[in-house]
Amino acid sequence: MRDSFHDELDSITQTLVEMTMLVKQATQDATTALLTADLQLAEKVIAQDDRIDQIQHELDSRTMLLLATQQPVATDLRVLVTSLRMSADLERMGDMAHHISKLARMRYPATAVPSEASLTIEEMGRVAGLIIGKLAKIIENRNLDDAKQLAIDDDEMDKLHRKLIQSLISKDWPHGAESAIDLTLLGRYYERSADHAVSISRRIHFLVTGRYLQEKD
Amino acid sequence: MRDSFHDELDSITQTLVEMTMLVKQATQDATTALLTADLQLAEKVIAQDDRIDQIQHELDSRTMLLLATQQPVATDLRVLVTSLRMSADLERMGDMAHHISKLARMRYPATAVPSEASLTIEEMGRVAGLIIGKLAKIIENRNLDDAKQLAIDDDEMDKLHRKLIQSLISKDWPHGAESAIDLTLLGRYYERSADHAVSISRRIHFLVTGRYLQEKD
């Protein structure tokens, strides 16, 4: 039988999974808002970011309480310390969706993404959703093979990012510097979101094994 | 008299201060390398980033050990938890200097910064150095007024960032999209570095008071 401390540890993991699903939804909504110039949806993502921040603070308070009262060691301690880190990464991934939505709002009623780039951005949004969905499962199951796989999915994101930048510096880019700036930032937001996901998957490796994997920069 | 646990807590804080000074030097060197197309200095910053990552891992191991063996509560617990978070922010600030240096290296023997933007980038580098230098003092002294002041210094960084973007979207920008992309990313690296510094100063507020300040996104 499990004691209440371990029930609470499980519950913290469950909250991290829920937070991840919220971030996934925010990222997908932000992409839709961006590509379809949907102001209402952009506003929704922007408003919901506070909720994600709030979940992080609640999670951190619960984690601190367990650290203070339960003297955890070994895996239990790593679950708590890793939770503090994962919640920070997830909060930051929420910020990326927030930034994407703010750019969508800033350019409304136009769209920030000209047709030449919309397929690439759509793909970046799709891959981000895929990665974040897998991440939720990895946080839940702590499967190290799945965690490793995430770095490979991230290669796909990096490829799309390079493709985007390549299209901006091609001689045919007709949309001027402002649009190039928007797309440079958008590309970075998607890429960073995926990087944070990979970073979390490395923390899962640490949680399970107690050893660090080399960080990607 | 202090016990060995509190000596070790102090030593962790001291390592955070040293890590901050390394990040300051890296950021200043990266700016010099960028503005003067100094390949050797860029390579130095790139190589040294591993050292910063290594300090983070050592710090985290020491912090974990104290969490596991000392059952810290109240301020002591907050010092340790905050240390884990600050080391992650500092590591990321090191990455920003690393990114700036990699861009300097990529454009060598040219400079990534055309003369129109060089004063603004120089200022951003100067303000970053100032902020990170103050941050080292704040980590050491835990002065809440100084911690608050850092957000005001960060406003200066945001102003410079807006000025940089404004110059890129002005009709007179003659350097094309590739240069606009470079400067968009550079602007973001400096701005993010300063944001992480503000984020650390908020963690100091939490360390001292046990209460969270509203996060900037």
Q: Do B67 and A81 touch (CB under 8 A)?
A: yes
* CA of B127 vs chain A CAs: smallest distance (Å): 22
Q: Could you give the C-alpha distances from B67 to A19, A34, B7, in angstroms and in order?
A: 26, 44, 15
Tell me the chain B residues in contact with residue A68 when contact means C-beta distances shorter than 8 Å: 72-74, 77
What span, in angstroms and rounded, lies between the C-alpha atoms of A206 and A152? 19
pLDDT value at residue A121:
98
What is the per-residue pLDDT across B124-148, written as a single tens digit (0 to 9) for each? 999 999 999 999 999 999 999 999 9
- pLDDT category at A217 given cuts 50, 70, 90 is very low
Tell me the chain A residues in contact with residue B216 when contact means C-beta distances shorter than 8 Å: none
pLDDT value at residue A212:
80
Tell me the chain A residues in contact with residue B91 when contact means C-beta distances shorter than 8 Å: 215
- pLDDT category at A67 given cuts 50, 70, 90 is very high
pLDDT value at residue A173:
81
What span, in angstroms and rounded, lies between the C-alpha atoms of A168 and A175? 9
Round the CA-based radius of gyration of chain A to a whole number and report it.
Answer: 19
The beta-carbon neighbor of A177 closest among B99, B180, B188 is B180
What is the per-residue pLDDT across A114-146, written as a single tens digit (0 to 9) for each? 999 999 999 999 999 999 999 999 999 999 999
Nearest to A29 by CA among A136, A163, A176, A128: A128
B4-209: CATH superfamily: Phosphate transport system protein phou homolog 2; domain 2 (1.20.58.220)
DSSP letter, residue A215:
P
Question: Which two structure tokens, joined as six digits, stand for B208?
Answer: 């001292």
Tell me the chain B residues in contact with residue A165 when contact means C-beta distances shorter than 8 Å: 181
Q: Which residue of B has its CA nearest to A178?
A: B169
Q: Which residue of A has its CA nearest to B53?
A: A215
What is the per-residue pLDDT across B9-66, written as a single tens digit (0 to 9) for each? 999 999 999 999 999 999 999 999 999 999 999 999 999 999 999 999 999 999 999 9
Q: How many CB pairs under 8 A join A and B?
A: 82
Q: Do A177 and B177 touch (CB under 8 A)?
A: yes
Tell me the chain A residues in contact with residue B68 when contact means C-beta distances shorter than 8 Å: 72-74, 77
pLDDT value at residue B172:
74
Q: Do A81 and B98 touch (CB under 8 A)?
A: no
By the CB < 8 Å criterion, does A26 face chain B? Answer: no
Nearest to B202 by CA among B180, B188, B191, B217: B217
DSSP string, chain B: ---HHHHHHHHHHHHHHHHHHHHHHHHHHHHHHHHHT-HHHHHHHHHHHHHHHHHHHHHHHHHHHHHHHH---HHHHHHHHHHHHHHHHHHHHHHHHHHHHHHHHHHTTS-SS-HHHHHHHHHHHHHHHHHHHHHHHHHHH--HHHHHHHHHHHHHHHHHHHHHHHHHHSTT--SHHHHHHHHHHHHHHHHHHHHHHHHHHHHHHHHHHS-PPPPP-
Nearest to B41 by CA among B119, B102, B126: B102
pLDDT value at residue A171:
75
For residue B217, pLDDT beyond 50? no
By the CB < 8 Å criterion, does A76 face chain B? Answer: no
By the CB < 8 Å criterion, does B39 face chain A? Answer: no
Q: Do B181 and A165 touch (CB under 8 A)?
A: yes
DSSP letter, residue A213:
P
> Domains of chain B: which residue ranges?
4-209
The beta-carbon neighbor of A184 closest among B57, B169, B185 is B185
By the CB < 8 Å criterion, does B49 face chain A? Answer: yes
What rounded mean pLDDT belongs to chain B?
94
For residue A193, pLDDT beyond 80? yes
Tell me the chain A residues in contact with residue B85 when contact means C-beta distances shorter than 8 Å: 84-85, 88
By the CB < 8 Å criterion, does A184 face chain B? Answer: yes
pLDDT value at residue B212:
80
What span, in angstroms and rounded, lies between the C-alpha atoms of A93 and A46? 13
Q: Do A85 and B88 touch (CB under 8 A)?
A: yes
For an interface test with A, the pick among B63, B73, B81, B166 (most A C-beta atoms closer than 10 Å) comes out as B81
DSSP string, A189-212: HHHHHHHHHHHHHHHHHHHHHS-P
By the CB < 8 Å criterion, does B181 face chain A? Answer: yes
What is the per-residue pLDDT across B187-215, written as a single tens digit (0 to 9) for each? 999 999 999 999 999 999 999 999 887 65
What span, in angstroms and rounded, lies between the C-alpha atoms of A1 and A18? 25
Q: Which of residues 84-103 of B touch A (CB under 8 A)?
A: 84-85, 88, 91, 95, 98-99
Q: What is the ipTM of this complex?
A: 0.92
Q: Do A64 and B57 touch (CB under 8 A)?
A: no
pTM greater than 0.90 = yes
For residue A19, pLDDT beyond 90? yes
By the CB < 8 Å criterion, does A172 face chain B? Answer: no
